Structure 1
């Protein structure tokens, strides 16, 4: 099921038409937008040689990752190389004709990158076109932040490996894919993302999909004021918190034996956990933390022997009174 859910998210991202773009920079500033930017097919490369205008050139990187210059027949490999790398290569070729050439080579226009899609429980879901390096926290904030239905987790999906991906890093992504899905993804906690630590707040790449997960439900029924579902938000949810959110237990509630039915991994069966609310209140028992899709059942407490006898006596008295009131023919007083 999760695999189909992930695929659906990817299809939505690919078909999304709403794009939230940051300010568009001038083409002359492209080279400085991303430090150590690696050239990809479709990029526009410009080169100049000081005092030697005949060696100036403008070229586009072809689909094979190469470009050519008018003064040399041999193509120059550009894919996944930096401007510094290309400047060194072009300088070597110009040096065949000019002594100690002063060469500048820069990317004057980048191929339009795929937008990052931010979806799920954010205030302004949509696409964001990256014009510089950005991390997960910044993109969530750029999309208005999380809404009140957000849980505590964020999924980062990478449908396609970046053009210049580090093979070792990509292998790690593949290892962490869930349920055998072919679309690598990683899970991050909101609290970790907000901490700003790089390991929990990764750099997001063009084409990535960010999904802020909805809070998971917990179901409460039985002797409770408002039997319903409540949601586990960031930070978790304890049993007593959930019961308070549902209005509290009724007077007839069996508070010494509250049952929590918990899903087993890869099994339709559920484990049963018992909790004593009295002991929890007295801090003699730990308040259990609930997990997604737990079912909390508040039973009805059994009546004591005294209560049963009292009901029997009161019931008999009521029955006798009713019999006296209705039994036999009424006498008439004239």
Structure 2
């Protein structure tokens, strides 16, 4: 069951879906373009932007347009046609049929994982909304992987905490090639004399008593005295000790409820 924080984040994601800016898309490698020149049907061509950011255009050969907007690329090709003496006035029209360079991958625990176009200014919440929001198995944390100036960095963002505190400055802008990965919600396990033993989702500030409730509560033979938890220590060794019902639950804990002696 999702907490109020999850519903708050889901509402914001839905709202953000329509709030992206209207800045022009910049062309990049992999984009497929359809070009035509008014009055010169022989100059019509469909081409793909190469890894170096160039296209092949009739009469001109290789033309570098990577990083330009559609309008700027149209002007550049028109200017080259005029300066080369091919046309007195070149009216170039460019249509982007596949926007491959400006796509962000949204993966992990979202309802519609896939690649989504970055049309204009888009932020993390925008892309999560486009991917249908965080799924029931998703956690509060997302990983944002970005490559800038040849260096790849990973940043972790707590989406629910960001929304609760209103710190939307952490809702960073994304660009083509970025990867958003929604982590699976942390899990722990309850076993022994509970109604529904097995894995459960750890909510913020969850206690052992709440974990037992997530397992359906005690069986008629269960005892809330002498409960034990098995967890990994700093060296990765499994250590078992007794816990109280008010103790916090940690990731991958195994809580064992023992049978009452009476």
TM range (shorter): 0.5 to 0.7
Tell me the TM-score normalized by structure 2: 0.61
Q: Which has the higher strand share?
A: 2
Equivalent residue in structure 2 for 1:293, among 234, 252, 256: 252
Tell me the TM-score normalized by structure 1: 0.51
1:230 is displaced (CA, Å) by 4.2
Q: Distance in 2 between matches of 1:90 and 1:233?
A: 60
Q: Which has the higher contact order (CA 8 A, sep 6+)?
A: 2
Q: Which has the higher helix share?
A: 1
For the pair 1:149 / 2:137, whether they are aligned, the reply is yes
Q: Distance in 2 between matches of 1:70 and 1:302?
A: 89
- 1:5-154 aligned within 5 A: 35-44=24-33, 46=35, 57-59=43-45, 60-61=47-48, 63=50, 64-67=52-55, 73=60, 75-83=62-70, 86=73, 87=75, 91=79, 94-95=82-83, 107-113=94-100, 120-123=108-111, 125-127=112-114, 129-130=116-117, 132-133=119-120, 134-154=122-142
1:90 is displaced (CA, Å) by 5.1
* SS at 1:154 equivalent: strand
Query: Rg bigger for which structure?
Result: 1
| Equivalence for 1:199 | 170
Q: Distance in 2 between matches of 1:34 and 1:81?
A: 12
Q: In 2 relative to 1, CA 137–241 (structure 1 residues): closer, same or farther, beyond 3 Å?
A: same
Structure 2: give runs of 5+ residues left out of the alignment: 1-20
CA distances 1:242-263 after superposition (whole Å, capped 9, x unpaired): 12223445677363x5432222
Q: Distance in 1 between matches of 2:30 and 2:138?
A: 38
* SS at 1:140 equivalent: helix
8 A Cα contact 1:45 1:109, kept in partner: yes
How many residues are paired up?
Answer: 233
* SS at 1:262 equivalent: strand
Q: CA RMSD in A?
A: 4.5
Q: Distance in 2 between matches of 1:172 and 1:129?
A: 20
Q: Distance in 2 between matches of 1:69 and 1:245?
A: 64
* SS at 1:80 equivalent: coil
Structure 1: give runs of 5+ residues left out of the alignment: 1-31, 159-164, 177-185, 278-286, 304-334
For the pair 1:253 / 2:223, whether they are aligned, the reply is yes
| Equivalence for 1:319 | none
